[in-house]
Structure formats: structure tokens, C-alpha cells
């Protein structure tokens, strides 16, 4: 009788396991179907935001990707270099997977970026390369002069990566047999790579446009761009010595973000009183940005399957488990939850974002693809906490594909975990499939900018990663990450000064100025807290006398001994213009100087840009001194 009871219990257990497996299979198939449906909506959402013919992009120039059709609370009807580049990279990857009708969008983007690079802006101009760090422009490809977090140094690297991917396709398929199209695109890439080689070790604003410092995401994007840019440049018989010389330095600097437990999103922060933990979606997006399907699980390159990337991911996810109402009651182990940018976020009251929640899934799918390629999972003390959160009985060791059932059990657990984050995002997606920027931490309703291009792009890249993790679908090709990396013993904060020229063959205007002068305006003007000084004048670089486009001054060097306001503007050589300063009062009142000033910018010299300093003192009415 006992033997029969044991047989019955065993049969029941096997039946339960079979039923559970069948249930998981049906659930996975249902999720896959829902993902395919949303992917169709997401791709159309991206194309709707593409000028000039996108239904949600009226007035946008050809090749311009607007961030969102939203024009009020918030106004995202601009094109951001970073968002557009990340999205274009997705478009290129989809094109490479057979969506041939996307090529006209890619070519329009190429021409638009050739033009964008020549637009003088508050960050600078093309002559010095400084203008390439400008974060955003109006949708009609004109400069945005308003106050903003600038420069942002990830845009050029990300744009280079997107265009390098397309150029490699042109060269490898023979479609561009004489190399003409790739040769025409190279000057755009070259400008961006020269910018990275020159400015990588200078601080700038992070991808959330809030922190002025050194960003983990930016540094990673810069490293990848230099590595694959050098490879493409060699193929096109270009001088790539600057990229080869700086890549090891950038790679060395990348290691300094690791604090022993997780990657700190921003270091060398300039803002006083900055007090975040550094746990941030920035770091998850970094792992995705560095993902190479042919790479091993390397910690120094923060590959998705690496111990550090997994340990970091757990820290990031756990930061959101208890702070959002919609996450309450979700199991601590192996369950997907809603995630946002960082736990201390207060923008729109700090909510989960679709793209950050989907990024968790994408990193995990990428990791599964890598484990399946190297045929081994290694669990060590650094990654153990992550593994036990998704598979409680996990223990340190090496698990080989085909060597035992443990490899499959571990990857299945990670797949289920990743699917949970996708299911969370889909749970709070409206019935029409529209993806906004955020969804409410309280009830999951869509918030902030609607039809966000980056949200749509992130869904499509997540879907590609899942296909690669669950089938023989080839998600992306290798970007050439080195297989064995030696971290330099000393990080060298060097740079190589670049030369910058309009990419005329790709669509840049032939009359775009390539010779410019950096003009430093030093103004002595006593002000009080809340009163600010602006510069405007008779050229587009100075706002064309529009108060709304006046350039904000910096009081960083202001003191009682010298009440100094500074402005650095990059102006075309030989320009003859007029300008004046104005004060903006806390009440909104604007006080102007009495007379216009004149300035003659020198003609081009042997070096571009040259430099000029102008010393001025305030000449006009003074605001009321307020307590």
C-alpha cells in the first residue's frame, strides 16, 4: 500500500509539473502574441513622429524625429539628438531584419543630421565641435535658445553608432559597391567621433537632463562609438588614430563608476547639495547600450550577463518594489514590477516609465542570449543575490548548457522574470496601445508626454531581444567589443583636438560656416538673487533681438569684488553685428541697456576656432534691490 501511495504521489507530482509547464507555455505564447500586436503599434507610433509626413509631426522637417506630439505640460515637440539617435538605431536594426520600407526614413535622417551639425546653437558651433553637444532643436531644424541642461555629450556618440551600423550594412551587402553612400555619411560620423575624442573627459548633463557631471551611460556610449568608429574608419581608409588613442582612456574611466555594489549613475557632480544614491535606470540602459551578442560575460564592459550588471540590476529593481502603490503585494522574488528612473525622482511626482520597465526585460533577454552563446552560466558571490531572487535554490558554481538540467532551469527562471516586466508594462498600456512617457505610481494610468518616441522604440528593441533569447532570431550584429580587455593601470584624462567640417555630400548646406570664433563676453553688472542677465543681438546666434531667444549668462565667477557675468558664444568669422544686455527681474519685467553695442569678429586665421574676449560694463537701468 505504501508503495502504491508513493507511485500515486509521484504521478500527481509529475502531472502537476506537466500542468505547470503547459500553463507556462500557454502564458508565454499569449505574451508573445500580445508583444507582436504592440510592436506593430509601436513601430507605427515611431513613424507617426517622423517628419515630414508623420501624422503626429506636422511642420517637422524631413528626417526629424520629434520626441512626442505633446506641446503642453510637457512640451516635447522638439527633436532631441539622443532620443532620435537611439530610435534611429532601432529603425536601422529593423531595416536590417527585412523591413526595407524603412530605408527612406534612414536616408532622410542622415540628411537632417548633416544639417543639424551645422546649426550654431547655445552650446557652440561646428567650428569648434562644441555645438555638437547641443541636446535639442526645434522640429523645423532651427536652434533652441531657451535655458536648458547643456551640453549633453551622449548625443554625438549615439548618432555615430546608429550611422555606423547603417554604413556597415551598405559596405557588407555590396549595395553600396563603390562606397559612395557610406563615404558621404562618414563626415557626419567623423564629426561626432572627433567630438567624443576631444570632449569625452569634460562634464555635461546626463540623459535625464538634470545632473551636470560625468554620466555612466554617456561614457559607455562614447567608448562603444570610438571602438566601432575606428573599425569603420579603417575600412574607409581614414585616419582613426585619435579614436584608438582615446578609447583605452574612456574604458579606464568607465570602471570608476563601480562602487563595489552597483554602478553609480553620475560622478563628478557639479551641483551643490546633490544627494542621490546613484541607483538609476541610466545603468541598466548602459548595459543594453554595451550589449554585444558575441561578447563574454565581462564585468569591465558591463555586459548584460556579467556579475556586476546582474548585481546592479537587482539593486535597481529593489529600489522600486515598495515605493510605488501599484507594486504593493507583488512577490519579492522572481516577479516583475514597475520601475522608474531613480527612487528619488520628483518629475511629475516620480512615476514608473515604460522605457525603464522594458529596459529591465531587455537586459535579461540579452543575458539569456549571451549565456546560450557561451553555453555557460557562472554564479559567484557578486551575482548570487540576483540569482537567488529569481531561483531561490541557486548556488555559486558554473552550469554548462547540456551538462545538467540546472542551466535550463536557471535560464527559464530568468526568462519568466523578464516576461514579468513586459507584462507589467502591458498591464498599464491603454487599449489602443499608445505609450506615453510615464504611468501613474498610484493606479497605472498614462502620464506626461503622450506617444513618446523613445517609449515606442524601447518596446521594439525589447521585442527583438526576446526573440533572440527564445529563438534563432539574430537580434543585432557584434559591434566589435574586444574579447579580452586589459584595464589601464592609470586612467589618463586626455583628449585629441578635432577638426570639424560640414558633411556637404550628405546634405549639409554648402555655405555653412566652418570657421568660427569663440567670443567670451565679460560683463560687470551688480545684481541681486533672482535677477538674471541675458545677451541678445542682431544675428541668429544672439537671438535676432528676440527676448525669448536671448542667451542666459553665468554668474559662476560673480563676487563682491567683481560682479562678473559671463557668456561664451561661437560666432562666424568676419561677422559684423550689434548686441546689448538685458536684465530679467523676478517679477517678469525686462530692463534693457540704453544703447546697442557693436562687434566685429575677426576673419579666419590659420586655426579655427579662434578666441576673442570682450569686456563690458552694464549701461542701463538697474532693478530694485530686493531682500
**Residue among 83, 108, 183, 206 flagged as catalytic:** 206
Helix (H, G, I), strand (E, B) or coil at 149: coil
Domain of 136, CATH number, reads 1.50.10.10
State whether 208 and 84 are in the same domain: yes
3-state secondary structure 455-469: HHHHHHHHHHHHHHH
510 within domain boundaries? no
State whether 241 and 328 are in the same domain: no
State whether 130 and 208 are in the same domain: yes
314 within domain boundaries? yes
Q: Which of 444, 475, 506 is the last residue of a domain?
A: 475
Read off the pLDDT of residues 42-101 as tens digits, 9 standing for 90 and up. Answer: 999 999 999 999 999 999 999 999 999 999 999 999 999 999 999 999 999 999 999 999
114 within domain boundaries? yes
16 labelled catalytic:
no
Strand partners, 282: none
DSSP H helical ranges for 49-131: 81-96, 103-116
State whether 92 and 161 are in the same domain: yes
State whether 244 and 300 are in the same domain: no
Q: Cα(210)–Cα(282) distance, rounded to whole angstroms? A: 12
State whether 337 and 292 are in the same domain: yes
- Going by DSSP bridges, is the β-strand pair 610-617/516-524 parallel, antiparallel, or unpaired? parallel
CB neighbour class for 231 (10 Å; exposed up to 12, middle 13-18, buried from 19) = middle
pLDDT category, 626, cuts 50, 70, 90? very low
pLDDT above 70 as % of the chain? 92
Listed in sequence order, the residues at least 6 apart from 273 whose beta carbon sits closer than 8 Å to its beta carbon are none
Q: Which of 449, 475, 501 is the last residue of a domain?
A: 475
544 labelled catalytic:
no
pLDDT category, 574, cuts 50, 70, 90? confident
Is 148 annotated as contributing to ligand binding? yes
State whether 253 and 285 are in the same domain: no
* CA–CA distances in Å: residue 444 to residues 39, 351, 432, 493: 20, 9, 15, 44
Average pLDDT of the residues in 263-277: 93
Q: Cα(270)–Cα(23) distance, rounded to whole angstroms? A: 52
pLDDT of 627:
38
Domain of 522, CATH number, reads 2.60.40.10
Domain encompassing residue 319: 281-475
Strand partners, 267: 214
Query: H helices then E strands: how many in the chain?
Result: 13, 17
Q: Which of 442, 475, 508 is the last residue of a domain?
A: 475
Q: pTM for the whole thing? A: 0.90
pLDDT of 24:
59
* CA–CA distances in Å: residue 384 to residues 17, 300, 375: 26, 18, 19
Mean of pLDDT over the chain: 92
Read off the pLDDT of residues 468-519 as tens digits, 9 standing for 90 and up. Answer: 999 988 777 889 887 666 788 888 889 999 999 999 999 999 888 778 888 9
385 within domain boundaries? yes
Type and span of the H or E element at 568: strand 564-572
586 within domain boundaries? yes
User: How many domains does the chain divide into?
Assistant: 3
State whether 451 and 312 are in the same domain: yes
State whether 241 and 355 are in the same domain: no
State whether 442 and 303 are in the same domain: yes
20 within domain boundaries? no
Read off the pLDDT of residues 203-256 as tens digits, 9 standing for 90 and up. Answer: 999 999 999 999 999 999 999 999 999 999 999 999 999 999 999 999 999 999
State whether 353 and 406 are in the same domain: yes
State whether 605 and 528 are in the same domain: yes
Amino acid at each position: 500500500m505504501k508503495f502504491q501511495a508513493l507511485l500515486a504521489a509521484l504521478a500527481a507530482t509529475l502531472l502537476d509539473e506537466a500542468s505547470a509547464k503547459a500553463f507556462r507555455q500557454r502564458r508565454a505564447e499569449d505574451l508573445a502574441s500580445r508583444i507582436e500586436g504592440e510592436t506593430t503599434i509601436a513601430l507605427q507610433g515611431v513613424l507617426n513622429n517622423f517628419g515630414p509626413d508623420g501624422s503626429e509631426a506636422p511642420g517637422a522637417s524631413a528626417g526629424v524625429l520629434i520626441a512626442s506630439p505633446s506641446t503642453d505640460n510637457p512640451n516635447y515637440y522638439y527633436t532631441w539628438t539622443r532620443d532620435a539617435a537611439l530610435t534611429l538605431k532601432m529603425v536601422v536594426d529593423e531595416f536590417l531584419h527585412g523591413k526595407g520600407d524603412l530605408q527612406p526614413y534612414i536616408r532622410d535622417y542622415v540628411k537632417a543630421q548633416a544639417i543639424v551639425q551645422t546649426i550654431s546653437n547655445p552650446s557652440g558651433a561646428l567650428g569648434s565641435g562644441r555645438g555638437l553637444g547641443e541636446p535639442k532643436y526645434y522640429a523645423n531644424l532651427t536652434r533652441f535658445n531657451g535655458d536648458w541642461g547643456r551640453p549633453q555629450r551622449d548625443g554625438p556618440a549615439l548618432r555615430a553608432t546608429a550611422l555606423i551600423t547603417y554604413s556597415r550594412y551598405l559596405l557588407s551587402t555590396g549595395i553600396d559597391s563603390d562606397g559612395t553612400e557610406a563615404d558621404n555619411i562618414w563626415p557626419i560620423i567623423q564629426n561626432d567621433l572627433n567630438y567624443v575624442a576631444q570632449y569625452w573627459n569634460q562634464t555635461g548633463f546626463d540623459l535625464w537632463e538634470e545632473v551636470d557631471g560625468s554620466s555612466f551611460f554617456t561614457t559607455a556610449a562614447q567608448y562603444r562609438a570610438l571602438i566601432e568608429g575606428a573599425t569603420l574608419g579603417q575600412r574607409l581608409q581614414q585616419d582613426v588614430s585619435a579614436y584608438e588613442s582615446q578609447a583605452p582612456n574612456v574604458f579606464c574611466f568607465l570602471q570608476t563608476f563601480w562602487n563595489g555594489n552597483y554602478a553609480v549613475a553620475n560622478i563628478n557632480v557639479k551641483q551643490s547639495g546633490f544627494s542621490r544614491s546613484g541607483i538609476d535606470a541610466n545603468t541598466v540602459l548602459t548595459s543594453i547600450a554595451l550589449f554585444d551578442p558575441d561578447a563574454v560575460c565581462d564585468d569591465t564592459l558591463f555586459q548584460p550577463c556579467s556579475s556586476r550588471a546582474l548585481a546592479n540590476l537587482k539593486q535597481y529593481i529593489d529600489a522600486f518594489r515598495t515605493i510605488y502603490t501599484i507594486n504593493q503585494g507583488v512577490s519579492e522574488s522572481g516577479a516583475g514590477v514597475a520601475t522608474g528612473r531613480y527612487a528619488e525622482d520628483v518629475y511629475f511626482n516620480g512615476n514608473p516609465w515604460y522605457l525603464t520597465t522594458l529596459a529591465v526585460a531587455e537586459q535579461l533577454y540579452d543575458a539569456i542570449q549571451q549565456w546560450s552563446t557561451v553555453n555557460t552560466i557562472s554564479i559567484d558571490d557578486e551575482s548570487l543575490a540576483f540569482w537567488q531572487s529569481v531561483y531561490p535554490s541557486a548556488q555559486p558554481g558554473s552550469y554548462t548548457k547540456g551538462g545538467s538540467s540546472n542551466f535550463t532551469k536557471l535560464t527559464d527562471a530568468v526568462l519568466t522574470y523578464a516576461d514579468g516586466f513586459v507584462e507589467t508594462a502591458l498591464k498599464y498600456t491603454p487599449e489602443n496601445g499608445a505609450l506615453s512617457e510615464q504611468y501613474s505610481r498610484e493606479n497605472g494610468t498614462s502620464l506626461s508626454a503622450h506617444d513618446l518616441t523613445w517609449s515606442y522604440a524601447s518596446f521594439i528593441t525589447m521585442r527583438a531581444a526576446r526573440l533572440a533569447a527564445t529563438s534563432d532570431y539574430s537580434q543585432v550584429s557584434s559591434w566589435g567589443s574586444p574579447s579580452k580587455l586589459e584595464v589601464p593601470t592609470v586612467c589618463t584624462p586626455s583628449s585629441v583636438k578635432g577638426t570639424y567640417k560640414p558633411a556637404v555630400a550628405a546634405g549639409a548646406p554648402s555655405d555653412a560656416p566652418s570657421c568660427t570664433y569663440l567670443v567670451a563676453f565679460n560683463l560687470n553688472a551688480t545684481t541681486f538673487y533672482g535677477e538674471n542677465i541675458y545677451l541678445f543681438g542682431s544675428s541668429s546666434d544672439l537671438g535676432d533681438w528676440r527676448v525669448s531667444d536671448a542667451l542666459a549668462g553665468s554668474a559662476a565667477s560673480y563676487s563682491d569684488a567683481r560682479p562678473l557675468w559671463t557668456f561664451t558664444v561661437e560666432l562666424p568669422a568676419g561677422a559684423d553685428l550689434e548686441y546689448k544686455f538685458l536684465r530679467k527681474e523676478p517679477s517678469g519685467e525686462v530692463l534693457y541697456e540704453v544703447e546697442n553695442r557693436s562687434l566685429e569678429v575677426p576673419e579666419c586665421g590659420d586655426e579655427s576656432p579662434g578666441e576673442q574676449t570682450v569686456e563690458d560694463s552694464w549701461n542701463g537701468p538697474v532693478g530694485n534691490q530686493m531682500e
